[in-house]
Amino acid sequence: MRIHDITEKSGNWFFRQRSYLPSLIIPILLLALLNSEYIEKHFGDTAQAIWEVFCISVSFLGLIVRSLTVAWVPEGTSGRNRQGQLAESLNTEGLYSVMRHPLYLANFLIILGFVLFVQVWWFVLIYMLLFCLFYERIIFAEESFLERKFGDAHRQWAEKTPIFFPDFRRWRHPAATFSWKMILKREYSTFFGIIVGFVLIKFFAELFGERQFKVRVLWLVFLGIGFVVYWTLRILRTKTQWLTIQPKDN
């Protein structure tokens, strides 16, 4: 088998497993938590609070990138399919006009916020290496599929558009209408997942790093807000027509 075929095959496998790949870092996370809370130990509570806000902001920046991507997404692109590559059309507008893989950049930022939150330098390095390893293969497989399906259209777009780091000078406003319903329908679970992730890391960082069992009120409030938003939007999606996407919404 050619190296090209091996690389694409492994990329397609990573693509199908991409929702579960972050779990591979959990054992390393538990080890890193033993050395967490570095900023608080050396610089105090104020510096710790500033760093925590920064990390949370990084993850929510990733959520914003995801939201801006799906808000203009045409049907048949940027889906949540798990079994293999799927694309009914080639999306080259909106965030796809400034970079070829905005959703992967968004995922990188979301997880990066968690990783930075732990405050262990080698944990950040391991995350960077694993992300590059997995997503380099996924991107290779995805772009091979798109080139076979869309030919010159994909090649011309790929030659001018950065893979991962956006070039906002190339922005093209989408023909589709911006849809808040699409964001609320598709990203409410991501919103809640970010909040749960930070609350759990904070709890175990204090348990492992400081050897203290503490449940801070502020973090419980943060979790409560996320819980209310999640279940409100879930009920609206599953029990009502309020988040139904009509053709005119896209």
pLDDT in tens, the chain (250 residues): 677 777 878 878 878 887 777 788 888 998 999 888 889 888 988 999 999 999 999 999 999 999 999 998 765 455 555 555 556 678 889 999 999 999 999 999 999 999 999 999 999 999 999 999 999 999 999 998 898 889 999 999 999 999 989 999 999 988 888 999 999 999 999 999 999 999 999 999 888 866 777 778 999 999 999 999 999 999 999 999 898 876 554 4
| Secondary structure of residue 6 in the 3-state scheme | helix
Non-local (6+) Cβ contacts of 66 within 8 A are 102, 103, 106, 107, 110, 187, 190
The pLDDT assigned to 250 comes to: 47
Question: In which domain, by residue range, is 18 found?
Answer: 3-249
Non-local (6+) Cβ contacts of 48 within 8 A are 37, 39, 40
The pLDDT assigned to 77 comes to: 54
The pLDDT assigned to 102 comes to: 95
The backbone torsions φ and ψ at residue 125, rounded to the nearest 5 degrees and listed phi first, read -65, -45
Instruction: State how far the Cα of 137 lies from the Cα of 13, in Å rounded to an integer.
Output: 9
The pLDDT assigned to 246 comes to: 67
Q: How far is CA 76 from the centre of its chain?
A: 20
Angle between helices 26-33 and 121-150 (to 10 degrees): 160
Secondary structure, 3-state, 109-123: HHHHHHHHHHCCHHH
The pLDDT assigned to 224 comes to: 97
| Secondary structure of residue 94 in the 3-state scheme | strand
The pLDDT assigned to 110 comes to: 97
Instruction: State how far the Cα of 250 lies from the Cα of 246, in Å rounded to an integer.
Output: 7
Tally of domains within the chain? 1
The pLDDT assigned to 80 comes to: 55
The pLDDT assigned to 155 comes to: 92
